[in-house]
Amino acid sequence: MAIDDAQPAQPVMEDPEARSARLEGAAFWATFVLTTLGLALSINQVFNLGLGGFRPISTAYYYLMIGLFGAIGFLAFPARKYARGPVPWYDWIFAAAILGFTIWIATRAQSIIDAGWNTTGPLHATIVAGFVVALVLEGLRRTGEMVLFVFCLIFASFPLYAGHMPGFLWGVQFDLGQALNEHVYGLESLIGIPMQVVADTLIGFLVFGVVLATTGGGAFFMDFASAMLGTSRGGPAKVAIISSGFFGMLSGSPTSNVLTTGTLTIPTMKRCGYPATYAAAVEACASTGGALMPPVMGAAAFIMANFLNVPYADVVVAAFLPALLFYFALFIQTDFYAGRNNLRGVGADEVPPLMATLVSGWYYIAAIVGLTVLLLVWRLEGEAPFWISLFLVVVALVRARQIGFTPYRFAGLVVDIGQSVAQIIGLIAGIGLIIGALSITGVANSFSRELVQYAGNNVALLLATGALTSFILGMGMTASACYIFLAIVLAPALISTGLDPMAVHLYVFYWGLVSFITPPVALAAIAAASIAKADAMAVGFKAIRIGSLLFLLPVLFVLQPALILKGPPLLVLQVSATAIAAVLLIAAAFEGYFYRIGNLSLWARIPLGIGGLLMLIPESTTDVVGFILGSLALAASYVVAKRNPVPTG
């Protein structure tokens, strides 16, 4: 099959998580110092060390983290997205201002609580709050998309006009000073649940992700996947799925994952016969699925555990089977596609030896296993990533000569950590203003209540509303921002109808990620298309087909919680087996191929697809009908194939 190189080329996207070109010279070392202070403060708080007798109360700690990493945000992210050159003088002033204001607030943290500054703050405190809100909004504009900034600006100012809103949007109204004080000094806005989760738990995982990438983890997982599957039928696509899944579950960023692993996997897939559009779509789906794969899953999963008031390990366990099913669907589809089109893997001389690969990078496997054990067995959510990161840094220092881990490279690692944390804190601080506005006005509760009333307790209508809203918001927000907003206003409405709370929160999270592979936005698909030199919209629509289970899974597990391992073991086993069989039938229908039969005719593919979909309907007897329909179609195809083989190729 000819490689599809005739598609119009797309401009190559930049990795949104690559180090900012502005972090050079003085800005580099300023970021190094600020990050070192921030990490020392985080370790002191998470491990409760009390170094030098310094034990700030939690609110003071949150303000200091916003100041330290907010300052880095102004150094790393320019006022205009694609501006080049060194850090201008005004960004140094902004960095100093947010650091200075938050230190001032942190030193008065206990007095703020005792005196209730969120309701009766003095004039000078209100002025400081105004500056902090303005700086936070500007930080959000720089670290996020313009759509998110506008959305945040509208909702952050909502308390100023809430009393004039109609119906369930009506809320308690505040004047400007009261609103600013609530945002900055209250416990539900700037330093609300999202910021608390980032400061208390997520920073360690961001450190782990950067350390893993900087010390060569991405290259190891690519080599590991290649050694296992590179020479198999359609091997490059399978390598893309496995390596992107490994790396994506640790980075939690679909677009960055595409731009990291896709530069290697997509050209190899094309070279082995996959069309450019198909290769890019596979990589986009695999990278997006990484954000759903335990043990890390990105910021939203940690915030989810906090909203649900459950250990993070519970979220990991619940997310495991759906994520596994998604990757199983990708793997089977690419295998069937390769079988139908007679695509081979790469030559044995092009893949590294498996044992040599494992020996050279065993510590990366040990790191993931260790992290999983610390999370699931010992429940050390805050401490685990720091211990594993320390382990990887020690290994890197021991192997410094082999991997070129110089002192300057170590300083660069610290700077990269600072930029990564600064970006998430910039986003979460702004999102906190949205949550604070909805909470203090009372609209968050009334919205859910009224939504259930308008839907007439119709679960299907509420689920459709949730899916549509998540998808639309996901087009302009990060997955975390979309999830946090809907966890406040929509999830309570779904839970009130009797649905499982964990399934509901995962439902919202999944649908927020759908936009990464769905036109018109499809950021992961566009990133993959830029590497593959394929048409971005064609890649997006192909990704919808390949990743179709991403649309079905949330509906399945919210209606049948056994898919998130809730329920009797026998039921979980039965539902899992049914889902696996359904995925096989649907993949065969999509790709027109099945094991020991070969290519399938259209008359067989239609009942296979229908049978697979029937088997996916939760809590019904249609799975039996679907199984019989699919089995008959396969049996008939097998008989026809034996009598009159369909040529492959």
Is it true that the peptide bond before 520 is cis, omega within 30 degrees of 0? yes
Per the CB < 8 A criterion, the answer to whether 389 and 204 are in contact is yes
* Residue 492 confidence (pLDDT) above 60: yes
pLDDT at 413: 94
Q: How far is CA 325 from CA 248, 295, 336, 479, in A?
A: 16, 16, 16, 21
Are 171 and 165 in contact, with CB atoms under 8 Å apart? yes
Q: Which residue has the higher pLDDT, 25 or 300?
A: 25
Q: Report pLDDT for 142.
A: 95
For residue 16, give the 3-state DSSP assignment: coil
Place of tokens 């004047």: 175
Q: What is the mean pLDDT of the chain?
A: 90
Short-list 190, 199, 257, CA closest to 17: 257
Structure token digits, residue 160: 């100023």
Q: Read off the pLDDT of residues 312-325 as tens digits, 9 standing for 90 and up.
A: 999 999 999 999 99
Given this model, what pLDDT does residue 252 score? 65
pLDDT tens, position by position, 352-364: 999 999 999 999 9
pLDDT of residue 15: 67
> Which amino acid is it at 450?
E
**649/631 Cα distance (integer angstroms):** 25
Which residues lie below 8 Å from residue 331, measured CB to CB, with a gap of 6+?
238, 241
> What value does the mean pLDDT take over residues 206-233?
90
- Give me the mean pLDDT over the 479-508 stretch: 89
Nearest residue to 375 via CA among 211, 245, 480, 250: 250
pLDDT in tens, 106-134: 999 999 999 999 998 899 999 999 999 99
- pLDDT at position 476: 66
- Residue 193 neighbours by CB under 8 Å, 6+ apart: 303, 306, 307, 435
Among 625, 494, 612, 499, smallest CA distance to 559 is for 499
pLDDT digits (tens, 9 = 90+) for 563-616: 999 999 999 999 999 999 999 999 999 999 999 899 999 999 999 999 999 999
pLDDT at residue 1 greater than cutoff 70: no
pLDDT digits (tens, 9 = 90+) for 387-446: 999 999 999 999 888 877 889 999 999 999 999 999 999 999 999 999 999 999 999 878
Domain ranges of the chain: 585-649
Its pTM stands at: 0.90
